[in-house]
Amino acid sequence: MPILALAQVGARRDGVPVLDDVRCALPSGAVTAIVGDNGSGKSTLLEVLAGVLPHDGTIAGLPERRALVVQRTDLGDRLPLTVRATVAMGLWRERGLVGRMRAADRARVDEALAIVGMRAFAHRPLAALSGGQRQRVLVAQGLVQRAPLTLLDEPTASADAASRDRIDAAMRTLADGGATVVVATHDRATLGRADHAVLLERGRVVAEGSPVDVAAAQLRRAAAALALG
């Protein structure tokens, strides 16, 4: 199975090291969960993979097209965007800011909205949605890009149970289509549904493997830290 292979990857923010000597393999056609405490470097790793943050080291197999799904945005509060328009923004790279939407593009938007269960909300203002619904729309924006690498930063953080299930199912749809899906998460359900997992601690990989094994390693390390503290 093709992989993204990271070797000696490091990154800084304002001159402060955030990732240090990261080594791991991210399989295609699979969902990889990146887990760890706040400040462990999860979001930074996604930004490195997305190409929005400079890094040291090497990443082999990185595709040119990548989609980054961020946590809930206030964009809908600042601009009068509908759900459909928000998802269509995912096509800007292909169509340009003023490119006309073709019938095939509209069908892609409809398909992405249907996958996350938001097609009935297509003409609603984004600002009128709940946090979980907004997050589903942002996931649809990532889906519509059909990128070989899709990166999601805590996509279920503000979501209710139904939205979490929809988002996890959307990630599975992407992976089943052959994409490399990488999700930073604190959600145990999302971790349990993943195919592969990586545990970060203070910017370093401390465990990698099956979600069950990585979850067990995380619990062991947390218990050891409590015993020392």
Query: What tens digit of pLDDT does each residue of 155-198 get?
Result: 988 788 888 999 999 999 999 999 999 999 999 999 999 999 99
Phi-psi label, residue 27: left if phi above 0, alpha if psi -120 to 50, beta otherwise: beta
User: What kind of architecture, by CATH, is found in domain 1-65+150-159+184-229?
Assistant: 3-Layer(aba) Sandwich (3.40)
The strand pairing partners of 183, in sequence order, are: 33, 152
- pLDDT at 119 exceeding the cut of 80: yes
| 113 CB-side CA count, 13 A | 20
186 vs 36: CA distance, rounded Å:
7
By mean pLDDT, which of 44-58, 89-103, 123-137, 191-205 is the weakest? 89-103
The set of long-range contacts for 157-160, using a CB threshold of 8 Å and a minimum separation of 24, is: 157/71, 157/72, 157/186, 157/187, 158/71, 158/72, 158/131, 158/132, 158/134, 159/131, 159/132, 159/135, 160/130, 160/132
Helix axes of 161-176 and 131-143: crossing angle, nearest 10 degrees: 10
Rounded to the nearest integer, the mean pLDDT of the chain is 91
The residue-averaged pLDDT of 96-107 equals: 77
pLDDT of residue 3: 87
Which of the two residues, 157 and 107, has the higher pLDDT score?
A: 107
